[in-house]
Structure formats: C-alpha cells, structure tokens
Structure 1
Amino acid sequence: MNIGVDAAALGMSNTAVAATADVNSGYWNPAGLTQLEDSQIALMHASYFANIAQYDYIAYASPIDDRSAYGISLIRFGVDDILNTTELIDSQGNIDYNRISLFSTADYAFTFSYARKLPVPGFQYGINAKVIRRIIGKFADSWGFGFDAGIQFQRNNWNFGLMVRDITTTYNVWNINEKEYQKIADAAPGQNQELPENSEITIPKLQIGMAKKFLFHYDYSLLAAANANMRFTRTNDIISSKAVSIDPALGLEFGYTNLVFLRAGVGNFQNVVQLDSSEKTTFQPNIGLGFKYKGIQVDYALTDLGNQSTALYSNIFSLKVDLSLFRN
C-alpha cells in the first residue's frame, strides 16, 4: 500500500495528494473522486526486482450525483513460483529433488471509496474502507482492515490536499499453519523454536500536498506539485525526530494541447549510513511519459526503488479509460 498506483503519478514521485481528480483518487486521495464527470476505469502493471515480483492494479469509479462519487479498486503484489525446499531431504537423509514444490506469496488490497463535496465551495472530502489479504503459500495467511481519510481544497487555481492513511490503525491477524511450521521448526538449532506473532499493526501516516497548473499560450501547460510525507516515528527520512519524520517530494508535468505529457519527479530523500560510518543523503528520481486521446490515456513511468547506487529501475505502464467514450 506504500508503492502507489498510476504511472502518471509515479512519474511525478507520488505528488498526487492535492491534484488527483480521476479514478486513481481512490488511492491517492479519495476526495478527488468528486471531480469525476463520468465513469472511469484504470489498469496498471509493473514488474519489480528484475521481474521477480509482479504488481497489478485495477480500479473503477463513477459519480453518484453532482456532489458525490464512489470507487472500488484491487491491488495485488506477489512473487510466484517460489521453490519450497522444506521437504528436499527425506526421512532417510537423502536429497530428493522430486520433493521440491512451488508456492506463491502475495498481498491483496481491496478498497471501497466514497467522496462528497462540502457546502463550502472548493472543499471536498473522501474516505476509504480497505480489506487487506496476505498469503504465504500454505504456510500462513492473514486478514486486515483499515480506513483512510482525505480532504482537498481549490482556490485561485491552487490545489491543496491532506491524506491520512490507516487513520484508525490497520490491523492484520495471521493464521499460521502449525503443521507446516513444525516441519522447519528445528531445521536450524536454536532458531525458529516459537511461532511468530500472529498480529501486526500499521500506524497512521499523514501526507500534505499542494499543486498549481500554469497555462502558456493555450497549448502548453505545466503542473507543479509538492508533497510532505509524514510518519510519526523516527526513520531515515531527511527530516527526522522522535515525534515525526518528513520525506518531501517534488513533481512536474509538462503538457502539450492536453495530448502529450512529459513528467519528472524526485522524492524518497533518505539519510543513509555508509560502511565507513559516514552519512550520505540519497534520493529517488522518476520520469514518465503520457498520451491522451478521446478519453483514453496511456502512461509510462521509469522509477527507481532504491538510491542512485543500486539502480533498481522499474518500468510501469498504466491505462485509464473514460467510459463515456463508448456511450458516445
């Protein structure tokens, strides 16, 4: 749930909290769903870690009336065809490769979003209810549930947004297959002697954003956006304290006749301790392209999951379709 969706937003380093206004608002800030003029559907696919992990997303959103809207989305992040070697050695101590099997581990998130305009002009709010499902082959699985809440405000072509993720704290409760666990409990002497914890929590996170779109000679546009991503604990973020840590992000989108888009962004500023105990500040650059024609938008982003030295770049593709195109 921290990676993000939509290649357009990812190409701008996730600076979408204030400016999001389409089907993908269900993830970035559900308040943005109120700006939908008609139903939309979105799809995204990405491969991470040299195609080891697959990340997929589908979403649908539609206005309810002139003041409210709803959306639903499904995210899957998974690694498939993992070798299960827990039974590689038989009871006689012989290695038998026929005893190797395959399994998958995957995280799923289903989200229902609702948004509504407030009586105060320019203000809208939105909420998410999300169900988290996590599966590690036949070894363990869990269910979780949580809420997000967001608001947006527009004034004089400026956009402001605030998003609180896991506002009530998201809980995941694990069910561990004890029969399978016992097969590996004594594999390493002195380790894996006790069952892992069967519950985990995700504490709230706050995102604050602002954005403004500039028009030049009618044909050219520039969208500038900034985010401050806040976690209420000490981390390696560039601004960090016991109370809160802040990771800033900046994004730009250059558009031509609302047809072709070029995007760039930078974020994930981290203070990293080197092997010689010195400290280095790293960041994550992203770039992207987009093409929009008659209600169909195709976007591409090239993102870097790590810092400049690891260069773990990922190619992300997404599609957004305005369903009014088919009715027309």
Structure 2
Amino acid sequence: MARTLVAALLFASVSIPPVWAQAGAAAVPFLLISPDARSSGMGEAGTAIADNINAIYWNPGGLGFLSNRQIALSFSRWLPQFNADLFYSYITAGQYFPQLDGTVAVNFILMNLGEFVRTDNLGNVLGTFRSNEFTLGVSYGTLIADDLGAGIQLRFIRSNLAPAAAGESVAGVGTSGSFDLGVLWKPSRLTVGGLDLGKRLSLGVNLQNVGPKMTYRNEADPLPTNLRLGIGIQAIRDEFNDLKFAIDIAKLMVRRDSLGSDALPTSLVTAWRNPGVELAMGMEYWYQQTVALRLGYFTEPSRLGNRRFITFGAGVRYDMFTLDFNYINTIEENHPLAGTMRFSLLVDLGSTAQQ
C-alpha cells in the first residue's frame, strides 16, 4: 500500500507543474487549473473579466452581474507530454433568481489521474488501480451596489489516490471542504487623470480554496489557498470591434517548512514570506461578437515552479452557443504543459431576470 500511495501522490503532485518549492507543498493542486478556454487563452487572466457563468471559478463576485441562465462545459487532455490518460473535465450551470436577487451556480470538476500498477515491497505486481480527484461546488453572487458584485462558493473536495491494500484498513483517500470569496467592481463613472474609465475599467479580488487540510492516512497537506487580484480594461468597443486587456496577479497562501505547514488563518499572514507571485496577462478581440482571437502570457519565479508560457486562443459564437479553444506554448522545451489544449462550450439560454 505504501508504495502505491506514494506513487499516486507523486503523480497527483505533477498533475499541474509545481505550485510549491521553498513556499511549501499543497494538496489537490488541480483546484488551481484554469477551467475554461477563454481565460486560459488570455494567459490565465480572468479575475476582473468574469462576465459569464465561469465566474464561479474566476471570481464569484462576477455572478452578481449575470441575468441569464447559462451552462458551460470544458475538457482538456492534461499534460500531453506524459502520454498518459490524464484528463480534466469541468461543467457548471447557473441562473439568476429574482427571489434571491442574485445568481446561483453549481459546478463539478473531475481530474482523472490515470491507471497505476500496485506492487509490493519487493516490486512484484499485485494489480492495477485508477486514481482521480473531484470537487462539487455551489455558488451565489449578487450586486451590493449597481457597479459592485460580491459572491461566495462552497466546495466539497474528494481525492481518491489509492485503495486500501490487503491487510490494511486505510486507503489513500482524502476529503475536505473549502470556500471562495470574490468581489468585482465595474465602475459606471470614473475619471483618472482626465481619462474617462467609466464602463471600461474592472477590478477584481478572489480568495480561493480556503479550508482545512487534506489528510491521507497520517499525513496532512494544506489546500492550495490562492489570492488573485485582477484588472481589466475595455480598450475598444463599437459596432464591429471589441478589444479588452486583462492582468492577474496571484499569490499562493501556503507556508511550509521542515517542521510542517502553517494552518489557517495563520498561513494567510505567514505566506507573504514566500518569494514572488504569479503574473498572467492577456488580450481578447471580438469581431462583430462572432469571432474571437486571444493572446496571453504567464510567468512565475523559479522558486514557485518556473512555469512560463504563451497562450493562444480562439472563439466562435453562433446564436446561444460559444465555442472556445486555447493552446499552450511553453518557453521551456519538453515542458509537461507543452501542447496542452482546452476546449470549452458556453450555452446562453437567455435572461431569467423577469421570470
């Protein structure tokens, strides 16, 4: 059991490139994977431009501005360089409820980690098993002012890394829960240095994955609590053209040393000793709200994993359907993320504000 659990833990750890180093390690890192191809195509910047149902991930405060019923689906064959059967799938749905004066959304994320070989301490093959991790979340967002939205997401998390071996009663399974808190400000009137930014600027804050540690047998690791700050600018918007830019800065709020990891809420303070932040930036251009092109860049310090990549994205909208695609081109050759693609579908079923 020990050997199979260790193997599954190691593979789960690289299910995304490292989100740890001297900063410490976190459990269930799949919670940090960007779910949709739109923001992923913009360098994984989305905190301040959360204007559809995918706001449940990027910033639940964005749900407060929605008045439509929407469904979103996303799929990615994860880390294709490994040639393994890893895949990431995501579905979310939500709608505005006049009685609640806000939008309620639910989502489900599944990270399939593939098949592993079970061996004993001598290396003899005992069989195979499959590992996966998933989360189920429910979110609510509302407007607390005409230009200010706030939201919360509650999440159940399950990690199934390895079954119990013969003669052992404890499996490599962990369960936890978490919450996200988000705020999105889209000022209708704002002038800075003589420049009119009303209805053009948006600012967002999202504190993600706040919850108790995930425990496997006798070991416990913190959740990947993450603080995201974002800014969005609507540069052009006319009858034919729509151009916006977005920048996100993210800080992993996990602190770990040789003695262990700090618990919440202590880690929200001590994590600021960790080096560096993630930086994501991107742009999106729509022509006649029908065809979209996206470009982005993501970087982080070497001590946090040294991920650096350029993203490309495209989208097409017809009636109620929007299909998006993005591709990751890593700066480093043969990086596990190289060639990763995402496909997303957004279905807008219309307004429920008057129902």
- How large is the Cα RMSD of the aligned pairs? 2.7
Q: In the alignment, what sits opposite 1:112? A: 138
Q: How far off is 1:81 after superposition?
A: 2.7
Q: How far off is 1:158 after superposition?
A: 0.8
Unaligned 5+ segments in structure 1 are 90-94, 177-195, 274-279
Q: In the alignment, what sits opposite 1:60? A: 93
Note the alpha carbon deviations across 1:5-54, whole angstroms, 9 max, x for none.
11011111221101111111111111111222221111111012225211
Q: In the alignment, what sits opposite 1:313? A: 339
Alignment of 1:94-109 (within 5 A): 100-109=126-135
Per the alignment, do residues 234 and 303 of structure 1 end up closer, same or farther by CA in structure 2, a change over 3 Å counting? Answer: farther
Q: How far off is 1:272 after superposition?
A: 6.5
CA–CA separation in structure 1 for the residues paired with 2:212 and 2:44: 22
Higher helix share: 2
Unaligned 5+ segments in structure 2 are 1-30, 165-171, 188-197, 257-270
Aligned 8 A contact 1:26 1:113 in 2: yes
TM-score normalised according to structure 1 size: 0.79
Aligned 8 A contact 2:67 2:103 in 1: no
Note the alpha carbon deviations across 1:265-303, whole angstroms, 9 max, x for none.
101332369xxxxxx976221111101111101010102
Q: In the alignment, what sits opposite 1:192? A: none
Indicate the larger mover: 18-27 or 47-56. 47-56
Aligned 8 A contact 2:293 2:313 in 1: yes
Q: In the alignment, what sits opposite 1:161? A: 204
Aligned 8 A contact 1:21 1:34 in 2: no
Alignment of 1:178-217 (within 5 A): 196-197=218-219, 199-202=220-223, 204-215=225-236, 217=238
Q: In the alignment, what sits opposite 1:179? A: none
Q: Is 1:259 aligned to residue 290 of structure 2? A: yes
Q: In the alignment, what sits opposite 1:172? A: 214
Q: How far off is 1:171 after superposition?
A: 2.4
Secondary structure at the aligned position of 1:245 is classed as: coil
Indicate the larger mover: 67-76 or 44-53. 44-53
Q: How far off is 1:154 after superposition?
A: 0.6
Q: Percent of aligned positions with the same letter in both sequences?
A: 21
Secondary structure at the aligned position of 1:32 is classed as: helix
Aligned 8 A contact 1:230 1:244 in 2: no
Per the alignment, do residues 18 and 146 of structure 1 end up closer, same or farther by CA in structure 2, a change over 3 Å counting? Answer: same
Q: How far off is 1:245 after superposition?
A: 2.9
Question: What amino acid does structure 2 have at the position aligned with 1:85?
Answer: T
CA–CA separation in structure 2 for the residues paired with 1:153 and 1:241: 25
Question: What amino acid does structure 1 have at the position aligned with 2:135?
Answer: A
Per the alignment, do residues 70 and 252 of structure 1 end up closer, same or farther by CA in structure 2, a change over 3 Å counting? Answer: same
Q: How far off is 1:232 after superposition?
A: 4.1
Q: Is 1:70 aligned to residue 91 of structure 2? A: no
Per the alignment, do residues 104 and 320 of structure 1 end up closer, same or farther by CA in structure 2, a change over 3 Å counting? Answer: same
Q: In the alignment, what sits opposite 1:12? A: 42
Aligned 8 A contact 2:102 2:143 in 1: yes
Q: How many residues align?
A: 283
Secondary structure at the aligned position of 1:226 is classed as: strand
TM-score normalised according to structure 2 size: 0.73
Larger Rg: 1 or 2?
1
Aligned 8 A contact 1:272 1:282 in 2: no
CA–CA separation in structure 2 for the residues paired with 1:251 and 1:210: 11
Alignment of 1:246-285 (within 5 A): 246-271=277-302, 283-285=308-310
Aligned 8 A contact 1:302 1:315 in 2: yes
Q: In the alignment, what sits opposite 2:75? A: 45
Per the alignment, do residues 79 and 233 of structure 1 end up closer, same or farther by CA in structure 2, a change over 3 Å counting? Answer: closer
Note the alpha carbon deviations across 1:163-204, whole angstroms, 9 max, x for none.
01134x342233x4xxxxxxxxxxxxxxxxxxx51x222263
CA–CA separation in structure 2 for the residues paired with 1:33 and 1:251: 22
